[in-house]
Structure 1
Amino acid sequence: MHTKTSATDRAYRHTKDAILDRRYAGGDLISEGDIAAGVGVSRTPVREALLRLEAEGLVRLYPKRGALVVPVSQDEIDDVIETRRLVEGHTAQKAAAAEAGERGALAVRLNELLDRMRTEVDGDRQAFVLADRGFHREIVTAGGNAILVGLYDSLRDRQLRMMEEGVRTVARMCRNIDEHAAILAAVEAGDAPSAGRAVQVHLDGAAQLLGART
């Protein structure tokens, strides 16, 4: 059972990563056999992995043909941004309204991630992205709602394949840092309304980059 679960997880991770970084593009039809060969597993765990990806809305299964990678739609972009506004606006305000000790501990973690973002502006873009994502995730996690954390992770996964090459310029990265600093300052100050507004300003920029209508 352990081997089967491990094989399914490997097939799932391999296929999902390929979709998110667009090695499998929207509209591609991928076969169980191709995935099985790429991962080095049988077709059964691949089938189970594709069922998980279908439940996440990333593929659509066609019996005896394979799995169609669902193209990114305008509605999906709009939905992701709208849901991020709801989740992150709420959790930022909740974090800012927490006890001073909790806010202080959160601020330490956020400052570390913000420093990492500053370091990587002219360095490793992937490290910048991971620190950026980690910054937001720390705030969502501080809200103490595991369901919202899982939802946040799903939203950021979806957003990965929406980003066109070249949109993450140095100017945009520096703007992100400034916007993150504003969110952090509001959380540290215990100013819930300002924390919520700072998140919305930041997500306005994300919406613009992605071409969202929300």
Structure 2
Amino acid sequence: MNTTPSATDRAYEYTKDAILTRRYGGGDLVSEGDIAAGVGVSRTPVREALLRLQAEGLVRLFPKRGALIVPVSQQEIDDVIETRRLVEGFTTERAAGLAEAERVALVDALGSYLDVMRAHVATDKRAFVVADREFHRAIIRAAGNQVLIDLYETLRDRQLRMMEEGARTVERLRANIDEHAAIMDAIRDGDGPAAREAVRVHMDAAGAMLGARR
């Protein structure tokens, strides 16, 4: 079985990473030729990759000119936070209702991600963010809805490019750990309403960090 990424997939991953890490900033106009040169492919797979990214709302294509990197708007921030609140409130409450053995296994996994977050809170923000994402991903997967799993991945990608590096202060990250611990404790206790409320508190804090209106 051939698992080598196609030229289109490579162009897609290259461009998406550049957008999410803000190497391509909001409002930049990027040509197909620039991307093709960066990836080492022809323009045809780049064009196909850009169509995928346009469908995800990350770029807007202008024939013969290139791709405009769609700037982050306040409305997008508000929408992403609101949708995460709905998705994760539901899935976390469902996770709290799992059978005890399933909850124990989930809480063990969540605890391991919290340990990573604590270990890297002041030294490695990238490792912290990866563990943060895995924490939420584990809960959503435990809820067992593939559509919501896919939606979560899209939401986290979009949120990544909204985050200004300076917002991730050590103080804020430590508060983030406490919020995650509250979510984990509610799941451990099998307390659905408390789990949903812990998610609301966490999402409100995320919205405030991103500058979302309340």
TM-score by length of 1: 0.97
User: What is the CA–CA distance in structure 1 between the aligned matches of 2:58 and 2:161, rounded to whole Å?
Assistant: 10
**Residue 91 (structure 2) pairs with residue 74 (structure 1):** no
Quote the offset at 1:48 in angstroms: 0.5
Is 1:14–1:39's contact at 8 Å kept on the other side of the alignment? yes
Structure 1 residue aligned with 2:7: 7
Sequence identity of aligned pairs in percent?
68
Letter in 1 for 2:159: Q
Cα separation, partners in 2 of 1:92 and 1:3, compared to 1, 3 Å? closer
Give unmatched runs, 5+ long, in structure 2: none
The 5 Å alignment of 1:55-134 reads 55-134=55-134
Change (3 A) 1:152 1:3: closer
* Correspondence 1:45 to 2:33: no
**What is the TM-score with the length of structure 2 in the denominator?**
0.97
Q: Which amino acid aligns with 1:33?
A: G
**Match of residue 195 from structure 2:** 195
The number of residues matched between the two structures is 213
What secondary structure sits across from 1:166 in the alignment? helix
State whether residues 118 and 177 of structure 1, in contact with CA within 8 Å, keep that contact through their aligned partners in structure 2: yes
* Secondary structure, counterpart of 1:155 in structure 2: helix
> CA-to-partner distance for each residue in 1:45-103, whole Å, 9 max, x for gaps?
10000000000000000111100000101110000000000000000000001111111
**Is contact 1:93-1:193 (8 Å) kept?**
yes
Matched, 1:141 2:141: yes
Structure 2 distance, partners of 1:77, 1:196, is 21
Q: Quote the Cα distance in structure 2 between the aligned partners of 1:23 and 1:141.
A: 31
* Distance in 2 (alpha carbons) for counterparts of 1:7 and 1:144: 33
Mapped to 1, the partners of 2:126 and 2:41 lie a distance apart of: 29
